Amino acid sequence: MSNSALAAHVDTLEIFSAAMRKNIKCLVVAPENYSASGQPYPVLYLLHGYSGDCAGWLNDAPQLRQHADNYQMLIVCPDGGFDSWYLDSPVDSTVRYDTYISKEVVDFIDQYYNTRRERAGRAIAGLSMGGHGAIILAIKHLDIFGAAGSMAGGLDLRPFKRNDWDLKKILGSPLFHWQNWEEASAVNYVSRLKDQDLPLIIDCGLGDFFLDTNREMHRRLLEANIPHVYTERPGDHNSDYWSNAIDFQVLFFHKFFEILNEVRR
């Protein structure tokens, strides 16, 4: 149930999804000195990529245990399914990962852990499929998440009508269900950020096949005058890239939590 080799401890949970009628695994990294009473902890939700699972982040970035200790935060790694893209599928009623992550997982974590139970105490980020999921979930649920990040994220699904990621199964054929593809692409949600406060951090490797979609997201955010941090650095679409990128993103979210914590005092 726990692992203290790198400080912190890791809880392996099963969270029941009423929306999908099944138990789904989730890992929670808590600081070594975690206390169920006293000052509540901010929570960073970290989403894995396509074909991954809830253990993926800790396998690729074991330093997350140390980050939980150093920054006194909970890091929650839910399982998003093999290929859900963190969506409530419009063509498959058994795929409800938007509902699962944004409501069922958040509610469970808030019930069983000592958390800051407002958007100022929650951030969400992810890699690849999870980067897409983090951005779109944060924008769709501005009342739940206070900041969001993407590492090597597929932020526009439309260029990938021909792909190896089973998008047709989630969105339907692009020939007959193109509107679903439009509504599932994070780049098309930028307009919702007008007059909203959602700190964003987005990065992508220069050798990544998702680079153009990240540049398009960056362009649209600039055009709409939406504040954000955007970085391109050497790297490909692999664990070497996001195991490095996560350190910058965790620091970004730590600063977000700290600034708002100061405001609350």
Is pLDDT above 90 for 264?
A: no
> What's the pLDDT at 4?
41
Burial class of residue 63 in the structure, from the number of CB atoms within 10 Å of its CB (0-12 exposed, 13-18 middle, 19+ buried):
middle
What the chain holds in terms of domains, given with CATH numbers, is 9-264 (3.40.50.1820)
Residue-wise DSSP of 69-116: HHHT-EEEEE--TTT-TT-B-SS-TT-BHHHIIIIIIHHHHHHHS-B-
208-230 pLDDT, tens digit each = 999 999 999 999 999 999 999 99
167-208 pLDDT, tens digit each = 999 999 999 999 999 999 999 999 999 999 999 999 999 999
> What's the pLDDT at 261?
60
Confidence of residue 55 (pLDDT cuts 50, 70, 90): very high
- Phi first, then psi, for residue 188 (nearest 5°) are -85, 5
> What's the pLDDT at 107?
98
The more confidently predicted of residues 233 and 261 is: 233
